[in-house]
Amino acid sequence: MMRALWTAASGMHAQQMTVDVISNNLANVNTVAYKKQRIEFKDLLYETMDRARVLPDGGKPVNLQVGHGTMPVATVRDFEKGSPEETGNPLDFYIDGDAFFMIEGPSGEINYTRDGSFKISMTDMGKMLTTSEGYPVLDEAGIPIIIDFDLSALNVSQNGEITYIDEDGVSVPTGQFIGLVYFENRNGLEAVGRNLYRATLAAGEAIPAFDSAQTSIIMQNFLEASNVKTVEEMVKLIVAQRAYELSSKAIQSSDEMLGIANNLKR
């Protein structure tokens, strides 16, 4: 009977983690370029009471096994593109494709993001393109992007080339391209908060856009919306809640059966 208690307890723990993941998705429904997560589980060890076997006189064609519950093994991020939302801000960028922007972190490390809501920070080198936290946005060579002209003249082409319109209405190239990279296994990226991801061995090396066969385009004046579907998450939340209730009922039933067994001696 104790087996049922621990098995049901593992189910309650699993559903609690499911609710945690769903809650995080719902909390980020308005976060720019947020990618929803789902949690995956695997069943635990099985106690084999009788094995399948073949005997000359018939044998036993099936096993007799009892499982010991479930355990969480992974949270998988869905990198489906969110819809583009027009903002009219020349410092907002949407990636139509699977690429990531490169961001220089506070310790000089390179992080990656799909969030293109960039800002301008004043530095010793001039006006620098950064994230909301002030982290520099890098070009394809891994160098911070400096804007030494009027922002109203800024123009970024679909391939990431940064140009500006001079007083004569002529498009002047700056020689810089917004850096984009790809990963062989995007689900191997480690989320570090602030819409940033860190490369890992599981994700593989970052592949620059100019070395990749994949194609992504940059859309200026647009941002990527979160890909969380509220109705879908609410349905999952209801299912998780009902599964949690059923696991708790299994614990209550096991406890009642133990009580009955203990009272048999009276």
| pLDDT given for residue 54 in this prediction | 79
CB 119 within 8 A of CB 131: yes
pLDDT at res. 175: 92
For residue 23 the two structure tokens come to: 């809650």
Residue 58 or 184, more confident: 184
pLDDT over threshold 70, residue 1: no
User: Which pLDDT does position 265 carry in this prediction?
Assistant: 66
pLDDT for 209 beyond 90: yes
Of 92, 93, 94, 112, whose CA–CA distance to 102 is shortest?
112
Q: What percent of the chain has pLDDT over 90?
A: 76
Q: Report the pLDDT averaged over residues 112-134.
A: 94
Tokens 């049901």 locate to 8
Sign of CA dihedral 252, 254, 257, 259: negative
Global pTM reads 0.89
Tens of pLDDT along 31-63? 999 999 999 999 998 888 888 887 776 677 888
Confidence of residue 266 (pLDDT cuts 50, 70, 90): low
Q: What pLDDT digit, counting tens, does each position of 69-117 carry?
A: 999 999 999 999 999 999 999 999 999 999 999 999 989 999 999 999 9
pLDDT the model gives residue 158: 95
pLDDT reported for residue 57: 66
- Cα–Cα distance for residue pair 105/9, rounded to 1 Å: 41
pLDDT value of residue 53:
81
